């Protein structure tokens, strides 16, 4: 009895090869064209989309950044909340926020409509800056100082959630940003 064997090294039997059908070629053309559109959108969206922070980036020693944060806290501290300093820098200031397992230091008190340069870095591992309930997300990487130009456009008491798994206490890593309304501008021509 003869048993025919067929392995993967042999060509498939029958008329398996046919030139691509016209619709298949059209489909490949559309798919390729769409790939090119998406490819062009990546750099275009960086400049036009206004969603990628084009901030300041530079290398920094994690301990040096932490020391700078402590200096910033000492300079503008206005209170405490459960052991964490509350810091209120003046509009235009450089603001320092250090992420570490498992806290955001310090608590920031900012003014609506004022511009700040928010410096973010980590003392230990990767953390994720995620401002709730607003859709702002940023990677916080040890060894890098990311200076983001921010202008709070809503007042309130916001939470910073860590969105990068950083260890056993990751889910407890919640920070706080308080945004106050701008102080009322004194009207001119009142008292004489
Ligand atoms: Cu820090 Cu998760």
Atom 1 (ligand 1) nearest CA? 127
Whether 98 lines ligand 1, by a CB cut-off of 6 Å, is: no
Whether 173 lines ligand 1, by a CB cut-off of 6 Å, is: yes
Range from 14-23, 45-54, 171-180 carrying the lowest mean pLDDT? 45-54
Q: Which residue has the tokens 């209120």?
A: 88
Percent of the chain with pLDDT over 90: 67
pLDDT digits (tens, 9 = 90+) for 108-152: 999 999 999 999 999 999 999 999 888 788 999 999 999 988 899
Range from 99-113, 135-149, 173-187 carrying the lowest mean pLDDT? 173-187
Average the pLDDT over 153-164 and give the result.
Answer: 94
Question: Closest ligand 1 atom to the C-alpha of 126?
Answer: 1
As a whole number of angstroms, the distance between CA 49 and CA 175 comes to: 28
- State how far Cα 152 lies from the chain centre: 15
Whether 162 lines ligand 1, by a CB cut-off of 6 Å, is: yes
CA quadruple 135, 142, 80, 116: dihedral sign: negative
Tell me what pLDDT residue 52 has: 63
- What 3-state DSSP class applies to 106? coil
Beta-bridge partners for 107: 86
Average the pLDDT over 168-191 and give the result.
Answer: 79
């Amino acid at each position: 009895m003869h048993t025919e064997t067929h392995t993967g090294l042999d060509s498939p039997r029958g008329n398996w090869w046919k030139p691509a059908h016209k619709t298949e070629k059209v489909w490949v053309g559309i798919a390729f064209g769409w790939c090119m559109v998406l490819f062009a959108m990546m750099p275009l969206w960086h400049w036009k989309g206004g969603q990628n922070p084009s901030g300041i980036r530079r290398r920094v020693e994690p301990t040096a950044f932490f020391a700078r944060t402590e200096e910033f806290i000492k300079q503008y501290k206005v209170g405490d909340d459960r052991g964490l300093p509350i810091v209120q820098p003046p509009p235009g200031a450089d603001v320092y926020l250090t992420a570490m397992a498992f806290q955001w230091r310090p608590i920031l008190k900012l003014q609506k409509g004022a511009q700040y340069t928010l410096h973010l870095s980590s003392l230990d591992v990767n953390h994720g800056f995620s401002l709730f309930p607003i859709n702002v997300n940023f990677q916080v990487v040890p060894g890098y100082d990311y200076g983001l130009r921010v202008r709070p456009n809503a007042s309130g008491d916001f939470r910073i959630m860590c969105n990068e798994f950083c260890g056993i206490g990751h889910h407890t890593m919640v920070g706080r940003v308080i945004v106050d309304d701008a102080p009322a501008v004194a009207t001119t021509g009142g008292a004489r």
